[in-house]
């Protein structure tokens, strides 16, 4: 007869909690996975001394969908759609990380127009993602109105994505060799419209929180972390920058032509929850500048590579050219072979370093794909950050990490 | 500039690890050092503490299964040097029987989560790890899903072109 074993017992976690728990001094308490402030399905095992956290053990995997395994049985082009579903607030960023890896692996060129479109959309995505952060962060700390405002603004950006790719969230728009299709007519105007109204909105959000004494009380000095510690526990992105380290992959190892754009990398000084909030607020301003620059410099020309071995020919060519038909047929039936070898690409996602490890074995399917996701790193850093703070502050700490559980579990 | 730092990294590793250093792979301008399992902890420590290298960020840690070839596993590390702005890959081949490797957790504290993931997905154990439990799969899960002999779903349909390939995996299929 099938006998379900007990859930993980406290004994199995003995090495992670202190001896005091056994003497009854401290209490071991479960938080989540269905907790409104865990941003999905994150479960935490907390050891508490009164209201103070002694140790915190994250338990993840509730959203594990085997994306890496699934990608191994799809061709390079098909596997792209899986990346949308990892970090569902950074779909285009995931597409980008994967496409950069594929392009590096098969040595594929990307035309300038596609590069600019990628940057434009990646920055819009960053704004949209930070808006969700801002909204949920405010909500977690009891500022309810900002949540609805942020989602209103985010909706405008999602409409832009819908214009470009046909989907609000699961875009699959950035493809190896360029983008899926050219930007539609009226897209530039729509972005301009958004840019016109957005700074005023940001100012309003700023007024709601930045100097709000209640908000300051709950965020300043919470979970402060030094630069060295932040690097040591693997934090990247806004979390690392809030600790004072000027580290942004868009500046460090520029991809998609980021070196040609003029933008600042905001940094904080103490690395606490408040600094993380400030850094992200400033990043939205910077992303807006990048979007403006991208619109200005948008070159004409092809939106995807002309290398027919990897990129399908335009529809119009299929009626005229036999070669185009062959290429089209080959690409959609068997895909393209990638050489033996492995590459690693990194992009700056709204949450930090998103790395894609891609290995080819000479066939048309990726032999191994691995995503080093920023949320995974952030959740693993939680045991270093939470102890010593109140349970009530833990809610703020989690939301300041801005974890996306789809990104953590993949 | 960046090339010289990587060259220095490779030559230093070669010198320090001696017979534990196997080869250097240069693919698409990305350097990867292949070293023996015994060399990983000294290599990680060296890459991190060497003042000219300062690979202070463990950017990724994962594994690849080459089943049924030998050596079966490769554990792949990507180190990034924030001061020098370069990346170096390190690969460690491991045998199929009892894949075991030193944990680099004492050097990079963020390695633990990644090592747990590799343990969960590939069944590779890390010696000296402070906390080696399953991380993504349920705690009572059987098998290691990212191994190549672990079928994606149920038994696959055999065709002439993939007959042998599916045959190899057949014994591991659940239904």
In angstroms, rounded to a whole number, what is the distance separating the alpha carbons of residues A269 and A245? 8
Alpha carbons A288 and A111: distance in angstroms, whole number: 23
Q: What is the pLDDT of residue A9?
A: 57
**C-alpha to C-alpha distance for A197 and A156, rounded to whole angstroms:** 11
The residue among A125, A59, A123, A121 whose CA lies nearest residue A87 is A125
Asked whether residue A241 is assigned to any structural domain, the reply reads yes
Sign of torsion over alpha carbons B43, B46, B49, B52:
negative
Output the pLDDT for position A158: 92
Distance in Å, alpha carbon of A408 to nearest chain B alpha carbon: 9
Percent pLDDT > 90 in chain A is 28
Of A60, A372, A409, the CB nearest to B60: A372
Instruction: Spell out the alpha helix ranges (H) of A220-363.
Output: 227-232, 238-242, 249-252, 273-297, 315-318, 322-333
CA distance B75 to chain A (A): 12
Nearest CA distance, A303 vs chain B (angstrom):
24
Q: Tokens at residue A255, please?
A: 């991809």
Residue A3 belongs to some domain of the structure: no
Residue A250 in domain: yes
Instruction: Give A39's DSSP letter.
Output: S
Cβ–Cβ < 8 Å for B40, B104: yes
User: Residue B2 has what pLDDT?
Assistant: 53
Cα distance between residue A164 and residue A116, in whole Å: 14
Q: Do B109 and A384 touch (CB under 8 A)?
A: yes
Domains of chain B: 2-140 (3.30.460.80), 145-175 (no CATH)
* B81: β partners: B86
Interval A372-398 mean pLDDT: 88
Taking 80 as the threshold, does the pLDDT of residue A39 lie above it? no
Q: Which residues from chain B sit within 8 angstroms of residue A355, using beta carbons? A: 59-60, 78
What is the C-alpha separation between A143 and A396, in angstroms, rounded?
12
B143 touches chain A (CB under 8 A): no
Please determine, for residue A1, whether its predicted confidence score (pLDDT) is greater than 50.
no
Neighbours of A141 (CB within 10 A): 25
Residue A363: pLDDT above 70?
A: yes
- Whole-angstrom Cα distance, residue B137 to residue A115? 38
Cα gap A272→B106, rounded to integer Å: 26
CA nearest to A59 within chain B:
B135
Which range of residues forms the domain containing residue A247?
Answer: 67-409
Q: CA-CA distances (angstroms) from residue A283 to A131, A286, A290, A380, B74?
A: 11, 5, 10, 24, 38
Say whether pLDDT at A148 is over 80: yes
DSSP label of B64:
E
Nearest to A287 by CA among A120, A407, A162: A120
**Would the CB atoms of A370 and B62 count as touching at under 8 Å?**
yes
Residues of A in contact with B156 (CB under 8 A): none
Q: Residue A248: which CATH number?
A: 1.10.645.10
Residue B165 in tokens: 């390939």
Both structure tokens of A84: 């949308």
DSSP 8-class letter at A189: H
Q: How many domains does chain A have?
A: 1
Average pLDDT of A49-72?
A: 88
Based on the number of CB atoms within 10 Å of its own CB, is A257 exposed (0-12), middle (13-18) or buried (19 or more)?
middle
- Would you say residue A124 lies in a domain? yes
Residue A37 CA, chain-centre distance (Å), reads: 19
Query: Tokens 């909030």 appear where?
Result: A277
What is the distance between the alpha carbons of residues A86 and A355, in angstroms, rounded to a whole number?
Answer: 13
How many Å separate Cα B90 from the centre of its chain?
8
- Lowest-confidence region among A22-36, A117-131, A203-217, B66-80: A22-36
Give the DSSP letter string of B8-48: HHHHHHHHHHGGGEEEEEEETTEEEEEE-GGGHHHHHHHHH
CB contact residues (below 8 A), chain A span 37-76, against chain B: 60-61, 64, 66, 68-70, 72-73
Looking at beta carbons, which residues of chain B come within 8 Å of A367? 64
Q: What are the Cα distances from residue B144, in Å, to A285, A337, B120, B141, B152? A: 45, 27, 6, 8, 11
Q: Provide mean pLDDT across the span A5-17.
A: 64
Interchain CB distance below 8 Å, A107 and B108: no
In this prediction, residue B12 carries a pLDDT of 85
Q: Of A139, A129, A60, A385, whose CA–CA distance to A242 is shortest?
A: A385
Give me the residues of B, 93-112, that contact A with CB < 8 A. 108-110, 112
At residue A162, the pLDDT reads 92
Q: Is the minimum CB–CB distance between B60 and chain A shorter than 8 Å?
A: yes
The burial class, CB within 10 Å (0-12 / 13-18 / 19+), for B13 is buried
CA distance B68 to B148: 8
Measure the CA–CA gap between A322 and A317, rounded to whole angstroms: 9
Nearest beta carbon to residue B152 from set A8, A69, A104: A69
CA distance B24 to chain A (A): 13
Instruction: Please indicate, yes or no, if residue A30 is contained in any of the structural domains.
Output: no
Domain contains A39: no
pLDDT digits (tens, 9 = 90+) for A238-260: 999 998 888 888 888 888 889 88
Give the pTM.
0.90
Q: How many residues does chain A have?
A: 410
Q: How far is CA A259 from the centre of its chain?
A: 21
Residue spans of chain B under pLDDT 50: 1
Query: Could you tell me if A176 and A102 are in contact, meaning their C-beta atoms sit under 8 angstroms apart?
Result: yes
Q: Tell me which residue of A82, A44, A78 sits closest to A60, measured CA to CA.
A: A44
Instruction: Measure the CA–CA gap between A117 and A179, rounded to whole angstroms.
Output: 8
For residue B121, which of A242, A369, A20, A356 has the smallest C-alpha distance? Answer: A369
Question: Strands A352-360 and B57-65: what pairing?
Answer: unpaired
Task: Pick the residue from chain B with its C-alpha nearest to A250.
Answer: B85
User: Torsion angle, CA of A376/A382/A384/A388, rounded to 10 degrees?
Assistant: 180
Q: Quick check: A372 contacting B, CB < 8 Å?
A: yes
Work out the number of other CB atoms within 10 angstroms of the CB of residue B163.
Answer: 9
CA distance B15 to chain A (A): 25
On whether any CB of chain A is under 8 Å from the CB of B18, the answer is no
Q: Looking at the domain assignment, is residue A190 inside a domain? A: yes
- Beta-sheet pairing, A43-49 with A52-59: antiparallel
- CA quadruple A188, A191, A196, A202: dihedral, nearest 10: -160
Strand positions, DSSP E, A50-164? 52-59
What confidence score (pLDDT) does residue B164 get? 82
For residue A109, the SS3 value is coil
Q: What is the distance in angstroms between the Cα of A157 and the nearest Cα belonging to chain B? A: 31
Assembly ipTM: 0.87
Strand partners, A357: A344, A370
Which range is most confident: A18-32, A114-128, B127-141?
A114-128
Digit-coded pLDDT (tens) for A67-102:
998 898 888 988 999 898 888 888 999 999 999 999
């Amino acid at each position: 007869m099938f006998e379900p074993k007990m859930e993980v017992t406290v004994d199995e976690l003995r090495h992670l909690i202190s001896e005091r728990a056994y003497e009854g001094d401290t209490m071991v308490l479960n938080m989540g996975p269905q907790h409104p402030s865990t941003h999905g399905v994150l479960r935490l095992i907390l050891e508490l001394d009164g209201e103070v956290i002694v140790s915190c053990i994250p338990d993840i995997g509730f959203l594990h969908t085997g994306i890496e395994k699934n990608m191994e049985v799809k061709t390079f082009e098909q596997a792209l759609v899986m990346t949308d579903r990892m970090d569902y607030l950074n779909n285009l960023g995931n597409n980008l990380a994967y496409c950069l890896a594929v392009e590096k692996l098969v040595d594929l060129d990307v035309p300038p127009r596609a590069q600019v479109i990628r940057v434009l959309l990646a920055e819009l995505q960053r704004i949209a993602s930070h808006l969700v952060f801002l909204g949920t962060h405010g909500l977690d700390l009891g500022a309810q109105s900002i949540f609805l405002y942020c989602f209103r603004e985010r909706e405008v950006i999602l409409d832009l994505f819908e214009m470009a790719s046909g989907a609000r969230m699961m875009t699959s728009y950035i493809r190896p060799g360029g983008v899926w299709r050219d930007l539609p007519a009226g897209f530039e105007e729509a972005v301009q419209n958004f840019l016109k109204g957005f700074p005023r909105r940001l100012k309003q959000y700023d007024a709601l929180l930045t100097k709000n004494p209640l908000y300051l009380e709950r965020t300043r000095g919470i979970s402060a972390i030094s630069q060295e510690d932040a690097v040591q526990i693997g934090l990247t992105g806004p979390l690392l920058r809030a600790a004072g380290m000027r580290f942004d992959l868009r500046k460090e190892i520029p991809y998609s032509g980021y070196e040609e754009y003029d933008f600042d990398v905001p940094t904080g000084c103490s690395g606490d929850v408040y600094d993380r909030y400030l850094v992200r607020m400033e990043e939205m301003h910077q992303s807006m500048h990048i979007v403006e620059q991208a619109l200005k410099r948008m070159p004409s020309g092809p939106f995807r590579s002309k290398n027919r071995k990897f990129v399908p020919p335009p529809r119009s060519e299929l009626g005229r050219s036999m070669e185009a038909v062959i290429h089209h047929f080959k690409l959609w039936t068997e895909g393209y072979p990638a050489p033996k070898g492995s590459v690693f690409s990194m992009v700056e996602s709204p949450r930090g370093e998103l790395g894609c490890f891609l290995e080819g074995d000479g066939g048309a399917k990726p032999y191994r794909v691995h995503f080093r996701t920023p949320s995974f790193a952030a959740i693993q850093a939680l045991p270093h950050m939470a102890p010593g703070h109140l349970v009530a502050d833990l809610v703020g700490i989690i939301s300041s990490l801005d974890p996306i559980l789809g990104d953590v579990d993949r | 500039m960046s090339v010289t730092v990587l060259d220095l990294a490779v030559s230093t590793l070669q010198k320090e690890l001696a017979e534990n250093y196997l080869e250097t792979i240069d693919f698409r301008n990305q350097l990867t050092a292949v070293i023996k399992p015994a060399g990983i902890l000294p290599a990680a420590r060296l890459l991190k503490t060497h003042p000219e290298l300062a690979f202070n960020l463990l950017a990724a840690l994962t594994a690849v299964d080459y089943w049924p070839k030998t050596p079966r596993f490769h554990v792949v590390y990507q180190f990034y040097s924030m001061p020098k702005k370069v990346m170096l890959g390190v690969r460690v081949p491991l045998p199929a029987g009892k894949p075991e490797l030193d944990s680099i957790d004492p050097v990079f504290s963020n390695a633990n989560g990644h090592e747990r993931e590799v343990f969960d997905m590939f069944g590779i154990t890390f010696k000296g790890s402070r906390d080696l439990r399953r991380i993504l799969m349920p705690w009572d899960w059987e098998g290691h899903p990212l191994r190549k002999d672990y079928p994606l779903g149920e038994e696959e349909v055999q065709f002439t072109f993939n007959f042998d390939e599916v045959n190899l995996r057949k014994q591991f299929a659940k239904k």
